[in-house]
Structure 1
């Protein structure tokens, strides 16, 4: 092996390890698979009464390969419509199902027309309240379902009232839904998506004839493995409403979709395949898009990797050969551009480049640039294939961008000696952020008891596709959500027996869910006791929880950038971070933000009522409060209610202010300032309360979508100022408040 080949192997291994920290490896895609499967179930159960059978997330975020500005798409699989692969398909006709026959005879590969089946007794869709006979277009060889009319119908059925914050735009086969996040400038979010494509799809009863070849073709190198082929061949395939733009019957054509199959393939990629895909996306964005805009998509790149993996096998796909594999894939991509032919992976006859690179100038420029990138693969990858803040990029700059210096033992050792700890910490961060994301999804969607029951049933089943530890955390949080829902019903009930029964049910559920973690889980239980006015138990739960906290904890949430906390006497220390042996990282206890939904206004402490009630009707419907802030606020609130203001409650309040100042450094801090303001008001510190609320409002002035409860509290104070009374304010305070007014 030449020295040049050895250097390429060494650089490949370093880049592979660096990408693991991003994280881009098999571990991260498995986690994405778990999160996607659980979130898909949440949304599917929520919309099951709207004519939707299942919801499937798509795009790079669902795959676990999201880079900068990645997409987040969804496919909505309609209930009550099934596609037969041919006229001769045997079918067990089911009541209430509308059948169409897939006809590709006059379409380009990858597209079909849909002909009503003779099995139909009616074409009326009950959930959509639509007669599909109205969407048939007569042709010389029959009447076909119009994909164009279908798209317009689905857009018209999408809710679009004054409170619906989404801008809806037609985008190919999809409905593009644009949405500005409520807390859009939270720096801790890994990927802030402000739009996604929603595609409405119809399902085949079996695999389409055009794709059967994929299940049977000869594979010399064993990829995909026979077990994976068998699994994928049992998955649903779909059609989406978009036709071939060059066809005279474009408005009647539907494109075949293999979304579930493609996701499964990527979720089964090894580290090197995943990393090659990620690097290719970045290289194309940097080097090719400026020369040939909108000619190469992420879908094209994954297709290239599918073909190269199948034709070469996985023997070469190792960390040491990452850059060699990347060169092979770029060479294949260049060849496809040259021929203007990239075969679809499942429907081989379909050409994904049929309408691409029509400009000879763009074609030549793209091929030449790919050749240049391939010839300088190390420099090209470090400059554009990695995140600019990655450790490898930093070491490359520190070495003067000289390969011999970069590969020197000192530089390599500096990177490798810290890699294991960095990887463990990064994985812990990503894992618990994913768990927190699932909790946030449950909170924002506010799942009903019926939906919670279905979701718990799903999570209790044994799944090879879902990580059990993540599923367990989701189960605990669902029990908490169910308990809070029972508690909401109890507060609205005038029947004392029913109220008591609902409270007992709520307690049972929240006790199950309190095992969520060591801090926020018990705090939901304390919230229950505060709601039913059992103040002594509320205090006891908080004090016991605080007394038994471990000395070190990991924090996952949106309220603080400080993830690692050292704890002494139930209080996190001011210093950030701590040293922990690698073998103890995974065992480190984790805690999460307290999350409340819009509907929780009836059961939360008075200090949080406005925060919940003012949440929007759609979108991000959650209030997030740092668990330590909530713990000490609730403890202060309960003790003041139980025994009145004292030196002890003053100490708690003073510490609460220090806690918020030290740890809460994201836009969510406004909720923490509001609970401090309420706490000050509770003990008669009226001026201090006004200052906290005013500061909170100032912080949210840059977030136009946030309705801050501080405005309501200030309104209460200003109302008091209109009729000054020394029962509410001291004489000195009234003079100062008049200046505020």
Structure 2
């Protein structure tokens, strides 16, 4: 079954070129990793700013850089609660906190453990417990007793994960509703244990034939500890009491130390899985099994085989090992070999067909690869084999990465802002100041993407703080205080337009039409319609292909390009109401108190004024030129507003833009046109 054809070297080089063309090269892999780690850091900052002692992690293909646009890999998030002290030795017990002792004996499935609650005043177990004591804990926490030990059921965190609105449960993960054009988001809640799991201690002293993983890698992995995920082993007698031990941080380290051929081989395995296995046997072979197989192959072969001109041989080797794992229904976890990843996963009725599929791919040699439609891999390979060039998509991939990061940035920061939407102006100012000072302090103690995350957050909060202060000073004196302008200035350059539009809006509300006009002119000058992408984290289903100019700039830059080629939507909260033109203030009163309770949780924006940058730019121009009596420029602004609403495909708040257009039409005495705009707005 496993033979290397004579032409393996030449085809391998062509195949490597094809994978590079679709975005699997060193530079794009690093771009993906940096974007994922930055989003991870921002998510953690957001959680902690809002008072929760938790850390967010982004694992899986997105953070590894082992995906393509067409693979549409899930986004795997793990949220770790840090208020719990999970230990493997009683000497690590801490007073005054919730301590849980990991139990790993022969009654527990390999790769799993039990959690025993210890007392807060001494490192001894509870023998009895009272409902009153546990009733003060998080709802959904249920304890079970086993051989006199009080154990926590894994339904504790599973129940919390199940509370995520609209999601579907998949094992320990909560999969958020899929949006067209977007990846699924799987959120897993977990505890963390600082010490390396007992079941994996031998691995720290083991080294494969190819001197991989290295001693330094294993030393680092040993410092990462482990996570405890709320799911038991399938079919276990104590499934509801077991917690899966996860070494995701160590596995991330291993992935980050692969060379580009190994990464491409893994991506190829996932493409083959997507093409030949998943359409027929969806829940049998997972990408994690493929990753594990590849780890075993790398560790048990010499490093000199993992080269660009031998990628076909590497792929055949991995598929051969995967075939044997399926045949024996045993895929040992790379770090904890006692944990069989395939246990209970492959129905006996499906097994012969899955084996045959893999045999067909291996024995078919290049023919199977030429049949792959995912990422047009087969067509691209055929073009290469006929000395024809194939389209290189690195700029498109770069644009997708940056646009996704910008949208996630907006989404994450917005969650912090929304959390204070019910605050008074004074309360909001104090909260935003606290956020900014905390971010500045954190920034002094971190480096890299963590420092960048703090800066991105702080800038946006500066704009919000300045707007809140301006709203208060306008309310008192119909003027903008110097303090408000100082804070707003600190956040003006987060993107091309949103911060500057808030400033223009403030000037307009105090009647300073000259400064309003100058600010708007500067925004329009920097807003290149061929390059700037509208970014709206409010409606994730909008996913138009980025502009060509946006892709070009994204290809040459990382997150620093966000301030030059993106335009976030403009958000005003109730405590900023005096900074909002009266036509937009109505947006804050779209629901009465009686109906507000019946709205779904994702209608968080119902009390906000949110408008896309471009329509708001032209609306403010129309209003300003009207006040200045400049009729030609007023007509141009109105015409451009109408054209933008009609033609711009990437608007997240088209209904708000239509509402503004309708009010402009009223002021133009075009009642029928105004009514038409209002009706269209209501239908959206």
Compute the TM-score of the two structures, normalised by the length of structure 2: 0.80
Distance (Å, rounded) in 2 between the aligned partners of 1:274 and 1:258: 20
Q: Does 2:549 correspond to 1:546?
A: no
User: CA deviation digits over 1:325-358, x for unaligned, max 9?
Assistant: 2222111111111222111122122111222335
1:380 to 357, 368, 375: 368
Give the aligned partner of residue 23 of structure 2: 20
The answer to whether the aligner puts 1:658 opposite 2:643 as a matched pair is yes
Distance 1:314 1:633, change over 3 A: farther
Specify whether residues 580 and 112 from structure 1 end up closer, same or farther in structure 2 by C-alpha distance, changes over 3 A only: closer
Contact preservation (8 Å) 1:594, 1:627: yes
CA deviation after TM superposition for structure 1 residue 564, in Å: 4.3
Structure 2 SS opposite 1:90: helix
- Map of 1:158-557 to 2, 5 A cutoff? 158=163, 166-167=165-166, 171-174=170-173, 176=174, 178-179=176-177, 184=179, 189=181, 191-193=182-184, 196-290=185-279, 292-312=281-301, 314-357=303-346, 359=348, 361-384=349-372, 386-387=374-375, 390=376, 392-395=377-380, 406-409=384-387, 411=388, 414-415=389-390, 419=392, 422-424=393-395, 426-446=397-417, 449=432, 450-455=434-439, 457-458=441-442, 462-464=446-448, 471=452, 475-476=455-456, 478-488=458-468, 491=471, 496=476, 504-547=482-525, 553-555=531-533, 557=535
Contact 1:112 1:253 in 2 (8 A): yes
CA distance in 1, matches of 2:317, 2:250: 24
Q: Which residue of 2 aligns with 1:147?
A: 153
Q: Residues 669-717 of structure 1, C-alpha deviation per residue, up to 9 Å, x if partnerless? A: 444333322332344333322222333444x2xxxxxxxxxxxxxxxxx
For residues 103-141 of structure 1, the C-alpha deviation after alignment (integer angstroms, 9 at most, x for no partner) is: 33421211112233366458899998229998443333x
In structure 2, the CA distance between the partners of 1:43 and 1:179, relative to structure 1 (3 Å rule), is farther
Per-residue CA deviation, residues 226-284 of structure 1 (Å, 9 max, x unaligned), is 44433332224121232223332323222112233333433444433333333322322
Q: Which residue of 1 aligns with 2:144?
A: 137
Unaligned runs of 5+ residues in structure 1 are: 160-165, 397-402, 567-576, 701-741
Compute the displacement of 1:634 (Å). 1.6
Deviations along 1:21-73, one digit per CA (max 9) or x if unpaired, are: 79995224323433332343144225644xx5223344444544455454334
| Aligned match of 1:629 | 615
**TM-score (normalizing by structure 1):** 0.75
* 2-structure distance, mates of 1:628, 1:247: 57
How many pairs align?
A: 642
Distance across 2 between alignment mates of 1:106 and 1:584:
53
Once the 2 structures are TM-superposed, how far is the Cα of residue 297 of structure 1 from its aligned partner?
1.5
* Unaligned ranges ≥5, structure 2: 420-430, 537-541, 592-598
Q: Distance in 2 between matches of 1:127 and 1:533?
A: 58
SS at match of 2:92: coil
CA distance in structure 2 between the partners assigned to 1:643 and 1:633 by the alignment:
14
Q: Separation in 1 of the partners of 2:401 and 2:488?
A: 26
Structure 2 SS opposite 1:438: helix
> 2:671: which partner in 1?
686
Please say if residues 85 and 205 of structure 1, whose CA atoms lie closer than 8 Å, have aligned partners that are also in contact: no
* Post-superposition offset of 1:143: 0.9
Displacement, 1:314?
4.8
2: CA distance, partners of 1:551 / 1:599: 28
Partner residue in 2 for 1:593: 567
Q: Judge which range, 219-228 or 326-335, deviates more.
A: 219-228
CA distance in 1 between partners of 2:669 and 2:134 (Å):
56
Rounded Cα–Cα distance in structure 1 between residues aligned with 2:295 and 2:546: 38
